[in-house]
Each structure stands twice: as structure tokens, then as C-alpha cells.
Amino acid sequence: MSLRVAAENLPMLGDGAAENLVVLVREYDEESDKTAVEEMEKRCEVGQRGKPSLVTDLLGDPICRVRQFPSHVMLVAEYYGGGEIVGVIRACVKTVTRGGNSAAVAYILGLRVSPAHRRLGIGTKLVQEIEEWCKQKGAEYAYMATDCTNEPSINLFTRKCSYTKFRTLSMLVQPVHAHYKTIGSGIAIVRLTPKLAGTLYRGVFGNSAEFFPKDIDTILSSKLNLGTFMAMPKKSLPKWDPKTGILPSSFALLSVWNTKEVFKLQVKGVSMFKYACCVGSRLLDSWMPWLRLPSFPDVFRQFGVYFLHGLYKEGNSASRLLKALCAFAHNMAKDDDGCGAVVAEVGHLDPVRDVIPHWRKFSWAEDLWCIKKMGDDEKQNDDESCEPFDWMKSRPPSPVIFVDPRDF
């Protein structure tokens, strides 16, 4: 990958006067930058005193969040000549479908600027430079995701970088208890082959859902994808033949992605009282699992997360079937030592949203996605009488958004 460098004179306030410094934005070099990037990101992880904070450990691989994409990059900002890393940003480019149309989109994530070097324009410069890289890779749109309360990030992208608030999603978090969840009687759960799962997903999502990845087969065949599962009434199982392509009258689908092999999380800064309550609930649940107490996992040590994607339901009993699949995924996580939560992210109006079990206190009701059209020139259709497709101006084909597990 060729080295791309950009230098920018930025004002830095010091002793009441503006000083000039030169910041270099270039591609990340694993051999020379790894230690400096890890140290800088640790400084960014420091939470507010007296308030809990969620700390991420990238397991010694700063680029792990985008490494699963064939086309990805990480840029760093450093003082020219001094070599100090003061900012990072990551991005990937992929092709997704949207109501029968396809587009190359860039996902921008992991923007960090050292606390001592904020409000100097470094974040803006990092976004601008990574957008240029994305354009060179053919991206037609770029999008980012953040919590709706993260005003600094929202203001940076919408006010300074011309992004538009686009979609609102819900991040639903289910802690992993010490007891198993019941699946329910009369329900059969079948593990699908990656090939069959890809065929089913293209059938139910390909022409309706937004952001459905064209390389869905790559996702489903990844070692991080622990499987795709279908739930149906047991009475339908003998009649179902996947070779015919005819689906049961009622069924549900989901896939499980293992993020604990990519990064781990840890909660810090909680009071001793809250810590004791959480530990106590876990002990009681372990000692008396038949009570099925809603215990809290040990998130005060590093823990992993299972991410549920491709959730779909159809038919009269589909809600019950999807709940059974979520319970099945929870039990998978319980059997995996160190997995503390099962997470799903779905569109705010997605029919599956109200079915997915979650703890409201630990979930995000509004995860905001912002989008930007790359470049000023619109792509022209072969038929000049047709209006060029503009994702940002058209109405969504459905409330379903397929969240790529590699984005999580």
C-alpha cells in the first residue's frame, strides 16, 4: 500500500499566542507506529472522574476494526519532525445494495485525537484525508456512526465535514447470565451452511434492506462468524427441504459474530457498592440457577461480545421463534468463557426490534448514522432520460438496515 502524506499548518494556542506547527497525515506503519498509537489511544480512553467508563482493548492490533475488509486503511497524524502521534482514523470501502441499487460506500470509524491536541483542526484534517483515500478506492458515499449524545463528533462531521444525519438505529445489549435461557417447546433450531445462509439472506434482504453487503458470503464464511441459525416450528422441520427454496410458513434467522477475537471491553470507574451488587447477583445466579435471576456478568475484567446480525422473522409465530434464537445465542455465549454480552443493532423501526431481549439501561436507543455523498459529480445512467440514483434524497425502501458485523 503506497504511503500517502499530507502536511497542514495548524494553530496551537500556547501562552496566549498562536504558534505554528506542522502536522503530517500519513498511512499507519505497523512496525514503527504500533506502540505510539496504542499509547495515544490509551490517553483517549481516560473517563470522567467519578463516572463509569467503557475501555476497549484492541488486543495489540490497532487496525483490527477494519482488517476484515479487503479494502481498508488507517491514517495517523503526527508532528512533522517530532514523530509524536496525535491522532488516528480508520476506514474501509465495500459495496452494498439498497432496494435493488448498489453503491460503493466507505465506513469511517475510530477517529481519535490526543486530549492535549484537540480543537486544533487535527480531527477535521484526518477526516478530509481519509475521505480522499476513500474516493481513490471508488467510494460514492461515506458514513459514520456515533451515539446521538456525542455532540463533539456529530458537530465535527455535520458542521465541518458536510455530513447529513441519515438513519437512527438501536443498539440492544443483553448481559450473559450465569443460567441458561429456555428455548421453548415445539421449536427446532437448524444450523445453516454458509452457502444456504447466503442464499436465504439475499432472498429476504437483497432487494429491500439498506446496507446489505455484496460480499455476504465472505462474512458468513469468516472464522469469526460462529454460524447462521434458523428457527421453525418442529412440525415444519420434516416438511422443509432447503433444496426446493421453499421456506417454512413461519421462521426466523440470525447469525452470530464473535468480536472477542478482535477486541475486548472492560468497565472501569464504578463505585464499590455497584460492584458488590453486581458480584452478588452473579453469585446468587450461579448458586441457584433454577431461579433464573437476571444477574450481571463480570464486566469489571476484560470481556468479549457476541454480535447478532442478519436478524429476520416471517410468519404468525415468527416473534416467538426469534426470541428462541436469541436465547440460543445467549446460551452459546454462556458456554464461551469470557463472553459478557450479546448485542444486536437494528433499525429504529425494524420489525425485529421489539422482539430482541435486552436490558434498556445498558442499550442505546439512538445510534446515529451520518452520511455524505463523495464528490460533486453525479454518476450518469446509460439512459439519460432517467434521473441518477441519489441515496440521500430517496426514501428508504424499508425500515430494515443490515448492520455489517465487521462494522461493530
Predicted confidence at residue 16, as pLDDT, reads 35
Question: How long, in residues, is the chain?
Answer: 408
User: Which of 65-74, 193-202, 293-302 shows the lowest mean pLDDT across its residues?
Assistant: 293-302
What tens digit of pLDDT does each residue of 347-367 get? 989 999 999 999 887 777 788
Residues 102 and 341: their CA atoms lie apart, in Å, by 33
Contact, 79 vs 122, CB < 8 A?
Answer: no
CB 144 within 8 A of CB 130: no
Whole-number pLDDT of residue 378: 45
Euclidean distance between CA atoms 339 and 326, whole angstroms: 15
pLDDT digits (tens, 9 = 90+) for 32-86: 999 999 999 988 876 555 566 778 889 999 999 999 999 999 999 998 767 799 9
- At 123-161, the pLDDT tens digits run 999 999 999 999 999 999 999 999 888 899 999 999 999
* Cα-based distances in Å from 179 to 78, 184, 267, 356, 357: 49, 15, 22, 18, 15
